[in-house]
A and B are shown apart, each in its own frame.
Chain A
Amino acid sequence: MKTANLSASAARLHRKAMRKKYLVRALHYFVMLLVALITMFPLLWSFFASMRSDVELYKYALPFSWHTIFPVEYTFESYRVVLTELGFPRAAFNTLLVIAIQIPFACLINSIAAFAFTTFDFKGKNALFAFFVVSFMIPGEAVTMPLYQMVNKFGWVDTRWALIVPGIASGLQLFLFRQFFADVPSALIESARIDGASWTQVFFKIMVPMCVPIYITAALMIFMGEWNSYMWPLLVARREKIRTVQIMLAVVKMEHITLWSCMYAGAVLSVLIPVALFLPLQKYYVEGITAGAVKG
């Protein structure tokens, strides 16, 4: 009898513990869902706003109701305008072309420079490195005018060169590469050198394969930077044929009127491509960013 009571009591305790566990887990999921909803809300809002007319958008703004977010009449007119009249596909192609050319050059040049800073000792190394690091702390707008003058003198204005070349050398990427390379054991490089590997072989056969995450990180950073770049392409891409996504999207804001639903449609479309790229590669991105954060 006593044993039965004990086991019943144990079962009760177990059930209570399980209930508590499920409750905590449910609470956990609820909080996560809430945070996710809060995070997703602006995106969802943009998504649904892109499928309704401007008039409807404001008509149902207040009082807050189901139709404040969800359209009464779904329409894809704004997508039609963005994709055909405003020329989103061409602008997206232009942006992707610039990025596709810029990424390999930027990764190569910045990582070679970082490799030199990590591996070799030379006079003024620290001062030169500090100079490069400071360069990425200067806001882009501050150097716009002199840079434009320089690019204009080269005759690059209104060509893709002006969109690609100035973005190749980057103090930030050089810094990231250097931090990552600094964590590679020097014994590896020394043993390769002892085995007769040239510096080029050391770089391409040891450093590059070992540092894939930082290359992916750098590539993603270039991608995001160029995809969202606004002021510089605005100045140097004169012809509509070579204009980039953000410049194309800005056209919806006119002097007396803003095409809100087109703006939302453009925003949704311009988010899709980076997200599609970012999601599968995000673990490398995090790895690359945190590299060198902790010295062990």
Chain B
Amino acid sequence: MKKLLSLALVVMMLFGAVSFASAEKEEVTLVIISQAAWNDQMTEMVDLYYQETGVRVVLENYSFNDMLNTIEVKIGTGSEDYDILMVDIPLVSSYARRGMLADLTPYFTEEDLAMLPSAAVTASTYEGKLYASPICNSSQVMYFNTMLLEQAGVDLSELQNATADNRVTWERVAEIAENALQVLDPDHSLGIIGMDFQQVDRVYQMNQLPNSLGGLQVDETGFSLDGVLNTDAWKTALTWYQDMVKKGICSRGITASELPNYFYSDKLLFMIATNEMPANFVKKEMDHWDCMPSPCFEGYEDKVATPTGSWHLGVSAYSKHEDEAAAFVKWMTCTEEATEKFYELRGMLPVYATLLEKLAADENTPKNMKIAISESQNTAYPRALTPAFNEYSSVINAVWSDTRNGEDVDETIEWAIEEFEAQTLKYKN
């Protein structure tokens, strides 16, 4: 009997040891909703993280547009399949308000946050809690086609020597573009565009015009455009842009996904675009370009406002591995090692303070990146902070689109104020 009992005890101990060992070996696998275009770089990052921590992170890739829809449906329905989300910065408050993101405040110390741009931290904060952390930032640079401008007899030194303290004005850029078009394409038969915005008729880039005249994005409540759009800054900006379209300097009818192709194909003289654009120039074998800081309006040299904000990482409120997911987010966004590696791989404007300082001081940092770093530290103007950002962007996008198509500016503004009011009623009740 004793032998039997001892044997049973040994067997039980063995089982215990085995189950303990297997519990020890249990691996955490995190799933991240990510952009398909980032697959190669993100794969390297998650591999590096696995080597360091033993935590596996699996990428679930979607195209840019699909990713936002997927997050809406999957996290909106409380799916527990995901741990980390790639969050477009203006949507943080919307997600946070709907309980889709976990509170990251306990995971980030004051010292951690001090390493990130305050604008990005503010945009990631909703009702005093941090819901996301920036993986990268963005800024805007004015690119110009040196070959076409030289053919038109433009002296490039004025453009090439422009600095953040000595910017070329919008009015001057328009004048140069108009004169160059007179030489290159006087009857518009070649379809050359004088100047344009990469993300034409989208909030992100277009709002820099009124913002650079002192205009706001949205009112303090985040739910009204009254007192914002019906101001001189917005009216002047919209009217100026409409005039540019009417004169044939800016384009009409070309979408944001098409516009950069006109630059690569020598059909566009000046293009305001993201600092990442040179990577595409290389892919398209476009080598005759240069860049300068975003222009300013005459008399508003001290009010320059440049678009900013990019992708953040947040943790799904329904994740079963919140601690591990938050640890990955912190490693990816708030450590020197990971931010440097990600910059090396993808070349996007970084957010980590020490890396920014290093790049700013480095002589080999490309001109477009130096401009972007300077703008992100001095003129960056965040997008509207409102939980109704989806409604906001659809209304303001329509304002830019209608203005471009020749609608009366005052009527468009009036419509937009009423429309946004109507669309945000659900948030007020």
> Contact residues of A with B, CB < 8 Å?
54-59, 61-63, 144-145, 148-149, 152, 157-158, 231, 234-235, 238-240, 247, 250-258, 260
Q: Is the CB of B261 within 8 A of A254?
A: no
Instruction: Quote the shortest CB–CB distance from A166 to chain B (angstroms).
Output: 14
Q: Is the CB of A258 within 8 A of B258?
A: yes
Q: Is the CB of A250 within 8 A of B66?
A: yes
Q: Is the CB of A62 within 8 A of B190?
A: yes
Distance, CA A138 to CA B265, complexed state (A): 44
Q: Which of A61, A235, A239, A240 contacts B191 (CB 8 A)?
A: A61
Distance, CA A231 to CA B76, complexed state (A): 15
Q: Which of B76, B191, B280 contacts A257 (CB 8 A)?
A: B280
Q: Is the CB of A58 within 8 A of B66?
A: no
Q: Is the interface of A mostly helix, strand, loop or mixed?
A: helix
Residues of chain A within 8 A of B198, CB atoms compared: 256
Distance, CA A166 to CA B98, complexed state (A): 28
Residues of chain B within 8 A of A254, CB atoms compared: 35-37, 63-64
Given contacts A58-B261, A256-B274, A257-B280, contact A149 B63 (CB under 8 A): no
Assess whether B405 is interfacial by the CB under 8 Å rule. no
For chain B, the bracket of interface size reads: 35 or more
Q: Is the CB of A256 within 8 A of B277?
A: yes
- CB-defined A-B contacts under 8 Å, sample of 9: A58-B265, A59-B267, A62-B189, A63-B191, A148-B77, A152-B79, A234-B69, A238-B81, A258-B261
Q: Is the CB of A234 within 8 A of B262?
A: no
Distance, CA A240 to CA B82, complexed state (A): 16
Q: Which of B74, B189, B260, B273 contacts A148 (CB 8 A)?
A: B74
Which residue in chain A gives the minimum CB-CB distance to B74? A235
Which residue in chain A gives the minimum CB-CB distance to B267? A58
Given contacts A152-B79, A234-B62, contact A256 B191 (CB under 8 A): no
Q: Is the CB of B77 within 8 A of A152?
A: yes
Q: Is the interface of B mostly helix, strand, loop or mixed?
A: mixed
Distance, CA A58 to CA B78, complexed state (A): 44
Instruction: Quote the shortest CB–CB distance from A256 to chain B (angstroms).
Output: 6
Q: Is the CB of B77 within 8 A of A145?
A: yes
Distance, CA A231 to CA B66, complexed state (A): 9
Q: Is the CB of A63 within 8 A of B189?
A: yes
Given contacts A63-B189, A234-B70, A250-B65, contact A257 B260 (CB under 8 A): yes
Distance, CA A260 to CA B254, complexed state (A): 14
Assess whether B73 is interfacial by the CB under 8 Å rule. yes
Assess whether B342 is interfacial by the CB under 8 Å rule. no
Q: Is the CB of A149 within 8 A of B191?
A: no
Given contacts A247-B66, A257-B280, contact A145 B73 (CB under 8 A): yes
Q: Is the CB of B77 within 8 A of A59?
A: no
Q: Is the CB of B260 within 8 A of A256?
A: yes
Assess whether B276 is interfacial by the CB under 8 Å rule. yes
Q: Give chain B interface residues in 391-412, CB to chain A under 8 Å.
A: none
* Shortest Cβ-Cβ A-B pairs, 3 listed: A62-B191, A58-B265, A59-B265
Q: Is the CB of B69 within 8 A of A255?
A: no
Which residue in chain B gives the minimum CB-CB distance to A254? B37
Which residue in chain A gives the minimum CB-CB distance to B77? A149
Assess whether B264 is interfacial by the CB under 8 Å rule. yes
Residues of chain A within 8 A of B190, CB atoms compared: 62-63
Q: Is the CB of B257 within 8 A of A145?
A: no
Q: Is the CB of B64 within 8 A of A253?
A: yes
Which residue in chain B gives the minimum CB-CB distance to A152? B79
Residues of chain B within 8 A of A252, CB atoms compared: 63
Assess whether B29 is interfacial by the CB under 8 Å rule. no
Residues of chain A within 8 A of B36, CB atoms compared: 251, 254
Instruction: Quote the shortest CB–CB distance from B124 to chain A (angstroms).
Output: 19
Given contacts A54-B284, A152-B77, A152-B79, contact A255 B264 (CB under 8 A): no
Residues of chain B within 8 A of A260, CB atoms compared: 261
Q: Is the CB of A55 within 8 A of B284?
A: yes
Known: A235-B73, A256-B198, A256-B277. 18 other contacts (CB 8 A): A55-B265, A57-B265, A58-B262, A59-B265, A63-B191, A145-B73, A148-B73, A148-B74, A152-B77, A157-B81, A158-B81, A234-B66, A234-B70, A239-B60, A247-B66, A253-B257, A256-B276, A258-B261
